[in-house]
Structure 1
């Protein structure tokens, strides 16, 4: 038998290790920075155990955000810019990983694997693009080969494509990690992530994975953040100070809620391609609220986020004894969280599960990397039974 080449031998050796050190990377649609979670995993599937060893969010400079926004969630972009950013982001994320490891005094050789989400540029489920001859599609950039070569660490990336190839929409991928890390026999749970888009995973008390529901709900922070950037020159509504200074406009709220997406059956996905400031402007025109002041607009958009979450849970999930655990930037928005607590009895952040709410998505991608190496496809509801991610070797 011929020997394996060095890369394949190392891959085999890592897959056989009882404990693996994996870095999960997450860069969301809010473009606030790169989440870097250093985790240790033992086991796989429902026997997975993990420990978060280190976590950091390295903020993006405004110049980088402006670069990405040139090609983000737009139907027409500069193809050269998109091509350049794919390589640039892979290298840049590699640089940030090395920066974090240096800060933690950890040698890159101590890391078995990087699991990188990449940077979403465009999400196009068929329900949204409506082109009959084309399938669901999504695009994340930040090439894994560049990341692997830059860091010298085996990298798994581009997770969403396998989900689509298997018949899904490429999102939400939180489903797999939520089931493996967040289920508890005898307890009805919802793991709610309020990032740019709000999504949730329902975990039934009886552990029947056929009943698990994971879906996008609607806008999370994306509209609030966009309004704060445009009208207040702020990246987000810190401590909900702006929302609390305004009043909710019921006419605009009703117009925002009057969109067919909210009546579509779950599971479903969406993104800033739909929920953007153009969407808000159209709702303002329909409701005759074009002169709404900026504080009232942010307050109304904040309630819009809360109401869409509340309505979805009420309609689709048995709320008796339900425990809701929140993660993402929205977990730090007291206005949105207070709205949820007024309706549901048991609401807290995922810290109650031993999962840092800021690190949760980066942890989940680290878990997907672990599953890609040593797991088996898991059947969860109507979701594709697949292992996800593409391998990039460092040399």
Structure 2
């Protein structure tokens, strides 16, 4: 047997696999690196979060990604170059983390790499009748595998699209395997650049589980801060938004999007919710000269309102779901306060209550997806559009 495949066969036979999950989101703050011990598969999956860190990106590197991020006119040569550069930097960060944790590369069984999304183009966004759903993540898995010497599973979203999905969100799979609880309706709410959640019914019926994007989380606020406040990448502690007042006219126009009315599940990105979207809403509402603090306050309320509306579509007003929050938006006190005020019947928790660091959750979920690629059997999520019953990821060999 080929020695590399023999190695993979041995990994599959282990009672617990050491898998490093990676996540770099649309906020582009850095690379989340989660070292997980994963045993079992399917609904018998068990995970230990052994180590976690976020390796920060330099401002120069962020600027390089932003030069091709969510741009229809991106330089094709730069896309090619950054596909390799992102992978090499991620590999370097992984090796540094492994050393920092007192491990050796040969101790790690698998790397699960999400890559860096630079463009997301489901049919619902591009609207071109002769073209399919599409998405593009850069950070080539082969480069990571070769530089680290570790088997790498990457490019998860393409299989989802090939099987009939939109390539996002993928949290439904890991959320169901790890966090479902008999007798308790749960919402696993992730507030990243885009806010999304997974609905986990207390019945534990996989055919009723779904995951959906709901609209902007941090992306509009982050983009506005980065344009108008030199040296800042986000509104820390909501200090800017808290100094402003919500403008009802602007908020009304921000809410005028067909996406927000579309049925679940659905997916979106900064390709729709960007500064052009904001400027168009300001033009329609006559608020182009609105103080920056008021714009930020309104953007924060906008994010809160779309999340609230989406949750309320899942539950009657007298229901009391448990909402478990993760992602960068959980650190925005103004946003959280508005969610809790509007969803007063819900109980709010951090995924810390489920023994998963909320900042590590998405990286952990990709470790779970990689484990399913290696040892998982079929899990039936029903025949609903957008939630194919599929295992994902391409195996890249060192």
- Asked if Structure 1 and Structure 2 have the same fold, meaning a TM-score greater than 0.5 normalized by the shorter chain, the answer is yes
For the 8 Å contact 1:22–1:40, the answer to whether it is kept is yes
CA distance in 1, matches of 2:130, 2:377: 32
SS of the residue 1:266 aligns to: coil
The residue that corresponds to 2:157 in the other structure is: 160
CA distance in 2, matches of 1:353, 1:361: 14
SS of the residue 1:312 aligns to: helix
Give the superposition deviation at 1:209. 1.4
The residue that corresponds to 1:391 in the other structure is: 395
**1:223 corresponds to 2:228:** no
SS of the residue 1:167 aligns to: coil
Give the superposition deviation at 1:76. 1.3
Within a 5 Å distance, the mapping from 1:308-327 to structure 2 comes to 308-318=306-316, 320-327=319-326
Of the candidates 303, 318, 336, which is equivalent to residue 301 of structure 2? 303
Give the superposition deviation at 1:377. 2.8
Deviation larger for 125-134 or 31-40: 125-134
Which segments of 5 or more consecutive residues in structure 1 lack a partner in the other structure? none
The residue that corresponds to 1:268 in the other structure is: 266
The total of aligned residue pairs comes to 391
Of the candidates 98, 101, 105, which is equivalent to residue 104 of structure 1? 101
CA distance in 2, matches of 1:188, 1:270: 25
The residue that corresponds to 1:50 in the other structure is: 47
Distance 1:317 1:213, change over 3 A: farther
The residue that corresponds to 2:335 in the other structure is: 336
CA distance in 2, matches of 1:361, 1:262: 24
CA distance in 1, matches of 2:222, 2:65: 16
The residue that corresponds to 1:137 in the other structure is: 134
Give the superposition deviation at 1:126. 0.3
**1:121 corresponds to 2:118:** yes
The residue that corresponds to 2:367 in the other structure is: 366
CA distance in 1, matches of 2:147, 2:313: 48
SS of the residue 1:186 aligns to: coil
CA distance in 2, matches of 1:228, 1:148: 36
For the 8 Å contact 1:340–1:347, the answer to whether it is kept is no
CA deviation vs aligned residue, 1:17-54 (integer Å, no higher than 9, x gap)? 11100000000000000000000011000000010000
CA deviation vs aligned residue, 1:105-147 (integer Å, no higher than 9, x gap)? 1111110000000000100000111111110000000000000
CA distance in 1, matches of 2:112, 2:136: 17
CA distance in 2, matches of 1:317, 1:354: 26
CA RMSD after TM alignment = 0.9
Give the superposition deviation at 1:321. 2.0
The residue that corresponds to 1:380 in the other structure is: 381
CA distance in 2, matches of 1:116, 1:380: 24
